Structure 1
Amino acid sequence: MDIYIPKIRLVAEYLVQNNFAELFVKIAASTAHHGLQPTNENELPTTVLALATCLFQNYSDQCPLLCQEFGRTGGVECVVQIVSTLKSPECEFEDDELLEGAFNCALGVLHNCIRLCVENRSRYRRADAVKILGGLRKGDISDVNLLLILAYIVDEEESETLAKSEGCVRMLIELLKEAVSRDDHFGFTENESYYSATELLDGLNHLAINDAIKAEIAKHGGMHCIIRMLQPDFSEEEHVVATQALWNLSFLDSIKHTSEVQATLPTLQSLATSESQPIREASSYAVWEIQDNQRTVEHPNYDDHPPSYQETVEAHAQSGPSGHVMISYQWDSQDRVTAIRDKLIQTGYKVWMDVDKMRGDILDAMADAVEKSDVILICMTERYKDSTSCRSEAKYASKKNKHIVPLLLEADYDPDGWLGILLGTKLFYKFCSDDEMTKKHGRTLQRTRQSWTSRINITISSS
């Protein structure tokens, strides 16, 4: 395995360099023109498509860049349509085994290209994948691949409907229990499909964007599996997904206050000193949530630490109020948020914004930024609401009674879930387009510390 995986990655990188994703889309389009049924006159294009899909499935498994290119070139839309066509009544393959093999390969491609590149999510939704794939479910163990794809692309309401109506959480956890109990950490279905503990838990973690699903995971024994995956006999990759899942689930009081979770604190505190940045971050935040935001984790010194909080503030300091404006946002919105930050700095405000995806002491820097801010701008998008780190920031800001000003950056998003509850009846201001960015927003941020002698007026304009 140690030799095999690097070879797969090398081939996958070769496929990227030679535009295989674009070639695949052309093959799929050509096949669609001839029809998918393997009759004598179009048997060749159908066979080529089957081989290309199988090849893509095998090599996309180890190459996020290949998955990214697949999304960019329109491959997601192509394969969603292929899946739909293969299961349509009009598609009459004489060989049922060939049909099922082609279907499973296509699902494998769709799973890899969302699991390794979540940026493709919008493409799945535009292709109506939730409705198409959800409509193919049978409600049994054969649905695992479908469930794992849907877990990444459903919204909060769809997540709860999917999980509660058909028991998919229980199904995935039963497979996860088998996987963590085996030496190879794989769970096997009755039809001989197999899934790693990492794939299963990562899917469950994405499904748990809804707090009701977090409770379902605990109810069916998922916490035991997650805690088991924190142990030394599991890999670094497994530690990453386990600590991220524990962090996510710890937002629910009924989970984090259990003796089972509280007993994980020594293990998590040890993992918080890991040389792996993802493990270090997720375990630190998990401890932070389990201990109700107590800053008790000691971080070692690493060369990759970002500038300290004080250096960051001083770099952006301008004349004006003594406190600063903190901007809380999800990384995908950085371009628009940077424009907002620059306007504020030009107006004379001190601004704190994580522009370098801070590592190492990210938790301490975030807590300092919240505590020493006078105003916090929450830049709302659906991805913000789904982000565990954004939820930690917003929750801590609310706990510290900071003055929060919500900015809506996504026109078709209506704040829901925990974010909707946190905001309550607050008015929010739209910054969804360049036109809205260039208009003057004369909004008032009330002073939140005694050191402020006057109200500050945020004006974001092109002036």
Structure 2
Amino acid sequence: MANNSVHERILHICQLLKENKLDGAAELLASITAGETLLLPESIPSWIIIEQTACQLLQNSLHDSVENGQRSLKFIKQIGLFNYQLALIYTDDVQQTRLHNQVLFDPKVIRILVEIVNTLLQNDNLHHHDFILILCKWLEAIGHFVHRHDNLSTETLQSLRQSVLSCVLSDWYKTYLKLSVEINIPARMFFIRTCSFLTGIFQCAQLSFENALKTAQSYQIVLPVGEQIFDKNLSDFRQYLSQKNNIENDSACLTGVCLLITNCYKHEAFRDDHEYFSILLSLLKSNFVRTGLLPSWTNDSTILADTLMVQLKNATLVHNHTIQINIAASNSYFDYLISISDEYNIIYDILWTLSFNNVFHSKFCVYEAFLKRLKAFADQPKQFPDADVAQAAEGILWNITDRNRVIALPNQRDDVKPKEKPPVSVNSQYDLMLSYCWTEKTICKKIFQQLISKGFRVWFDEKDMHGRSCSAMAHAIENSQCIVICMSENYENSNACHHEAEYAYVRQCLQYYKGAALLWHLEQNIVSSESKFDEFLRSYIIKFGGKILNTDDFIAYFQSYFPQAPPVDWQSWLYTPGMPPVTHDFSTQLEEQCRQLAAQQTFITKGQLDALNAKQVAYLLNLLLNKQSAITYDYIKQMDVECDMSKYSNCEIRFRWYQLCIRVKYEKPLDDIFKFLEIIGRMKFVKPLYSEFKASWAEMIPRVRAFFDEHKQFMNPITAKQIEARLNANN
């Protein structure tokens, strides 16, 4: 159809509207597709007039007679369908996107829509009116367009955002969320489906990647809104989702509710909720989702699957090891995730999360075709449009192969030697590396600039990383003297950040282990005499005490002290990544002594405990913590009476002893426990103790909560936030 013909019909529609010939305008409008108007910027002014007229008719229909209302609704419905099609059109053309924006975000139209929404909120006499369904279509068209173009300014929509949020926070929302009410009433679709959908979209757009990089103020808008919604509706959300047998038949409203829950960014509310996790998985495997998935975000099945998987990852999988184990134990869940990975890219991020857990490594090994696909993504990332998938693929392969060498890649020859890496310089290239989540880029860049101005050599990915590969991350960590982690909730939920933090931690531990192993190797295998090596160490300390030296000084002095000693492969020991080149068979006598005490049937005596050093006592208590079924109140009480456990001041010992006491509800050391929580601030100590109270001693929770509320102002904010989330969790 020629462009001129389309333009003429648009002008004709305007004329028919002036003459109040709505039926003719509706028929003519039905012959025009949204795609055709993209080619006609000269038609936009006329089209905006049509939109404004339709929206005004929609508002008038609130008070029109039935006959006039039906005539108007036919035309308005056609406009709503047109807007919906327009919103779903994907284009990279900036001019055409601007034209879409003009049509859908016309200020007069938005103002009228806000007035209609406010009227519905205040007047329940209109809740059965059919015009509401057309309004829903119109509003959801706006939502879809915002979702597709979340980097656009939405200032025009702020009044609409506030109006639909008021609906979500209203008593009507709570009423219609119940499945016991009439589920086909139009107002229910408006409040539960459309207002949830639109609020969720606005939340997501406010924290879109582009906006988050521009300003951290986005969080100050979004997070309080999420808290408001959860404070008002969390219990109702739980009740609604718990009705598994009914909500699958309520798919439209379910999609809106799940999108809203996801974009409230209050994942900690469901973090330890195993029942909620089961609901997510059952919905994800429902026929409605499985049979309706599309490549694009254009139908309810796909939108629901997307929101369910985001929640599955952020609310449960990232933080809950038990839930990960449940997935590992059920082949059907893992099989299903693999089976839909081709259709849905977020699955790769979920699988990346699971790959950090060693129990999944053998499961990945079964899916040879999937592993080949991962290798293709990782080896040639530029051939695939989604960079996040390529990054996740490389992360999964790194975890299940490079990190632990658990499995071999398909068709990978065992005799192929890895490429030799150039030796790392003795002196680190960087003083420190900043590890952070990209959503906090603005503040972290300021930290980077401050450090640079003070003369520090800082690795910062915006400046130094070429690509997003794991090898680039590893290179940065290997060449930095220390790693500074800019911790945040987004950091916790990011697989890429998890990857960096874990690698940095492993490298730190590995360096300590390799240093100790090197000294052991020199003593046992090179010098072959403990007494001679002790003499060397004393001589070394006397010679270099109070002086500045480096590794080369140590090597030179060692070689001069033992000129006849066998050669040492210093290159492999000091500069080659990975485990030490020589494996030592260390004695396990001290460990075995603790294991025997933990396994004995009788009580541990004072003599037995006094024979252990501090590290052995801590290890013994750790063994008892893992031996839950055999540890009783009487056992702990007798151990305290016999061994006087209060005499220990070592935090590692006290921490584990207090865990055991809380677990069996042993009251005597309670005051000491609370004193410990008051003066010790380390997360590794206080968070497990609060968690143990929550899991094992329900009667003590009021006192624990009051104590926490009194002292949280003095705690590290991240520690306090995590403890608060655990205390507030349902399970």
Scaled by the length of structure 1, the TM-score of the pair is 0.65
How far did residue 361 of structure 1 move? 4.9
Give 5+ residue unaligned stretches, structure 1: 298-309, 315-319, 404-413, 422-427, 432-463
Match of 1:172 in 2: 283
Task: Render the CA deviation track for 1:267-316: whole Å, top value 9, x for unaligned.
Answer: 2112212423222111111111222536999xxxxxxxxxxxx9xx99xx
Query: Of the candidates 222, 229, 246, which is equivalent to residue 129 of structure 1?
Result: 229
1:288 aligned to which of 382, 394, 398: 398
CA contact (8 A) 2:197 2:256 kept: yes
Q: Which residue of 1 aligns with 2:506?
A: 399
| Of 331-340 and 216-225, the range deviating more from structure 2 | 216-225
Measured after TM superposition, the shift of residue 381 of structure 1 is 1.5
**How far apart are the structure 1 equivalents of 2:373 and 2:463?**
28
Corresponding residue of 1:20: 105
**Contact in 1 for aligned 2:207/2:219 (Cα 8 Å):** yes
Identical aligned residues as a percent: 18
SS at match of 2:123: coil
- CA drift of 1:265 comes to 2.6
**Which residue of structure 2 lines up, in the alignment, with residue 266 of structure 1?**
372
Match of 1:278 in 2: 388
From the superposition, tell whether residues 376 and 6 of structure 1 become closer, same or farther in structure 2 (CA, over 3 Å).
same
Equivalent residue runs for 1:190-269 within 5 Å = 194-195=301-302, 197-207=305-315, 208-211=317-320, 212-218=322-328, 221-231=332-342, 234=343, 238=344, 240-259=345-364, 263=368, 264-269=370-375
Higher helix share: 2
Pair 1:242–1:69, CA change in 2 (3 A): same
**8 Å Cα contact 1:201/1:241 also seen in 2:** yes
CA contact (8 A) 1:326 1:377 kept: yes
Deviation at 1:216? 4.8
Are 1:365 and 2:472 an aligned pair? yes
Contact 2:114 2:159 survives alignment (8 Å): no
Determine which structure has more spread, i.e. the larger CA radius of gyration.
2
Q: Which sections of structure 2, spanning at least 5 residues, go unmatched?
A: 1-34, 36-84, 209-217, 410-421, 512-680, 689-714, 719-731
Aligned to 2:634: none
Residues 24 and 52, structure 1, Cα contact 8 Å, conserved in 2: no
Structure 2 match to 1:56: 142
**Residue 82 of structure 1, CA deviation:** 1.1
Q: CA separation of 1:99/1:90 partners in 2, compared to 1, >3 Å: closer, same or farther?
A: closer
C-alpha distance in 2, partners of 1:94/1:165? Answer: 25
Residue 36 (structure 1) aligned with residue 122 (structure 2): yes
Within the candidate set 89, 99, 116, 1:8 is matched to: 89
CA distance in 2, matches of 1:294, 1:378: 23
Residue 106 (structure 1) shift: 1.8
Partner-residue secondary structure (3-state), 2:281:
helix
CA-to-aligned-CA distance 1:9-53 (integer Å, 9 cap, x gap): 46875454578297787557645765432548xx99989965652
Is the CA contact 1:229–1:242 (under 8 Å) kept in the aligned structure 2? Answer: yes
Separation (CA, whole Å) in 2 of partners of 1:73 and 1:224: 43
Structure 1 position 328 matched with structure 2 position 328:
no
Q: 1:83-103 CA distances to partner (integer Å, 9 max, x unpaired)?
A: 232324599x99952112212
Shift of 1:151: 3.3
Aligned-partner Cα distance in 2 for 1:227–1:250: 13
Could you tell me which residue of structure 2 aligns to residue 338 of structure 1?
445
TM-score, length basis structure 2: 0.43
For residues 300-348 of structure 1, the C-alpha deviation after alignment (integer angstroms, 9 at most, x for no partner) is: xxxxxxxxxx9xx99xxxxx97543101011122222222222222222
Q: Structure 1 pair 335/117, CA: closer, same or farther in 2 (3 Å)?
A: closer
- Alpha-carbon contact 2:436-2:486 (below 8 Å) kept: yes
**RMSD between aligned alpha carbons?**
4.8
Q: Distance in 1 between matches of 2:107 and 2:267?
A: 33
Q: How many angstroms apart in 2 are the aligned matches of 1:217 and 1:72?
A: 42
> SS of the residue aligned with 1:355?
helix
Instruction: Classify the secondary structure of the residue corresponding to 1:153.
Output: coil
CA contact under 8 A between 1:380 and 1:415: conserved in structure 2? no
Q: Which amino acid aligns with 1:158?
A: A
Equivalent residues of 1:218, 1:255 under 8 A apart: yes
Instruction: Check 1:166–1:203 CA distance in 2 against 1; reply closer, same or farther (3 A cut).
Output: closer
Separation in structure 2 between the aligned mates of residue 21 and residue 219 of structure 1, nearest angstrom: 53
Alpha-carbon separation, structure 2, partners of 1:198 and 1:242: 9
Distance 1:399 1:100 in 2: 53
Count of equivalent residues? 379
Which residue in 1 is equivalent to 2:16?
Answer: none
2:197 paired residue number: 108
1:375 to 482, 489, 493: 482
The superposition leaves residues 229-286 of structure 1 with CA deviations (integer Å, 9 ceiling, x where unpaired) of 344xx4xxx2x32222211221222233435666443221122124232221111111
Following superposition, the deviation at residue 349 of structure 1 comes to 2.0
Q: Hey, what does 1:73 align to over in structure 2?
A: 158
> 2-side partners of 1:55 and 1:354: how far apart?
38
Aligned residue runs from structure 1 range 292-307, under 5 A: 293=403
SS at match of 1:109: helix
User: Against the structure 1 CA distance between its residues 252 and 327, is the aligned structure 2 distance closer, same or farther, given a 3 Å change threshold?
Assistant: same
- Aligned residue in 2 for 1:440: none
Residues 185, 368 of structure 1: CA spacing in aligned structure 2 closer, same or farther, 3 A cutoff?
A: closer
One-letter identity of the residue aligned with 1:244: D
Cα pair 1:281 1:359 within 8 Å, conserved: no
2:481 counterpart SS class: strand
Please tell me whether the aligned partners of residues 152 and 203 of structure 1 are also in contact (alpha carbons under 8 angstroms): no
Deviations 1:413-432 (A, max 9, x none): x9989xx89xxxxxx9999x
Q: Check 1:246–1:327 CA distance in 2 against 1; reply closer, same or farther (3 A cut).
A: same
User: Residues 199 and 333 of structure 1: is their aligned pair in 2 closer, same or farther, counting only changes over 3 Å?
Assistant: closer
What amino acid is the match of 1:209? V
Corresponding residue of 1:87: 173
Question: How far does the alpha carbon of each residue in 1:123-181 deviate from its partner, in whole angstroms, 9 at most, with x for none?
Answer: 44312223344333322324454234323434453122555357322333323x76456
Which stretch of structure 1 is more off in the superposition, 280-289 or 57-66? 57-66
* Residues 379 and 107 of structure 1, relative CA distance in 2, 3 Å threshold: same
